[in-house]
Structures are given as structure tokens and as C-alpha cells.
Amino acid sequence: MPRPFKRFLWKAGSVTVPIAHFLKPLVEEKVPKLSNMTVNRASIENNKVQLKFTNGDETYADHIILASGFHIHLDKLPFLEDRLKRKIIREKGHSAFPKLNQNFESNLKGLYFAGPLSAHSHGPTFRFILGLGKASRTIVRSISKQEAN
């Protein structure tokens, strides 16, 4: 997307967008809820993502989808190892944001970003819950295609 058009969309997207009503049925009883937990570290163990939480718990997953909140800067994510952060290509002129392909995937295969960190690659709608439906469907479709190959 050309930078002037991105700037235009970014400004237009600054208007408050209502929370989408579709979110609840997409998540309830389909995605495990972890409340009041903070990821302390993410690493790869035996081709699985290992997440360690600040309360001492840990879990393994095939895939993770990052929902980092509104502190929009890739370098401020404490659970991504510094060596991974250094390898992620950034948006030109906006080093806080990863440069993502059409599937919300960074240059590191299998590392996807949705939410505010995807906004510079995909537009301001993706800073909000309203963009979550398209982002999640796109990411799941991409992961499914990779697993099929």
C-alpha cells in the first residue's frame, strides 16, 4: 500500500469504531480463556511454541495469535525474545510496526500479528476489534494452507 494512502487511512481510522458484535460467538467455548495472566517468555521447543507465564504456569501450542493491547511497539513485547525482534523486518519509516504480508505474517514464517501491530500493513481498521474477523479468518486460512503443504 503506498505510504500517502496509508497516512490517509491512518488518519481516517482514528475515529472511534464500535466494538463488533460478532466477537463473542467466535471466541466463547472455542478459545481457552486465560485471565489475569501475562506471558513472560515465548520460545520454540520440539517444533512447538512454549509460553511461560509470570505466575509460573507454562503451556505448549502449535500456533499463537498475539493480542498485545494498545502499547503499540514491537520492541516493547517482553515475551518475544530479543533475537526474534531483531530479525523481524519493520515497516519503512515506522519501526514500531512489523512489515506483514497479505496474510498478516511477518518475514519469520509462522509469526503472525493481528490488532494494532498490523495496522500499518493492513490499514487502521485492523487496530480495532472490528478488523478481527477478517484478520483471524486470513491467519487461520494461511496456517491451514501451510500445514497442508
Q: Give per-residue pLDDT as tens, 47-75.
A: 888 888 888 988 888 877 666 555 578 99
**pTM for this structure?**
0.56
Higher pLDDT, 47 or 9: 47
Question: For residue 71, what pLDDT is reported?
Answer: 58
pLDDT tens digit sequence for 34-43? 666 788 888 8
Which of the four pLDDT bands, split at 50, 70 and 90, describes residue 21?
A: low
| Residue 72: CB atoms within 10 Å | 16
Average pLDDT over the chain reads 79
Predicted confidence at residue 62, as pLDDT, reads 81
Question: In this predicted model, which residue has the larger pLDDT, 25 or 121?
Answer: 121
When mean pLDDT is compared across 8-12, 74-78, 83-87, the lowest value belongs to 8-12
Indicate the domain borders of the chain.
Answer: 3-33+65-148
- pLDDT digit string, tens, across residues 88-130: 999 988 899 999 999 999 999 999 998 888 888 887 777 777 7
User: 126 versus 77: which is more confidently predicted?
Assistant: 77
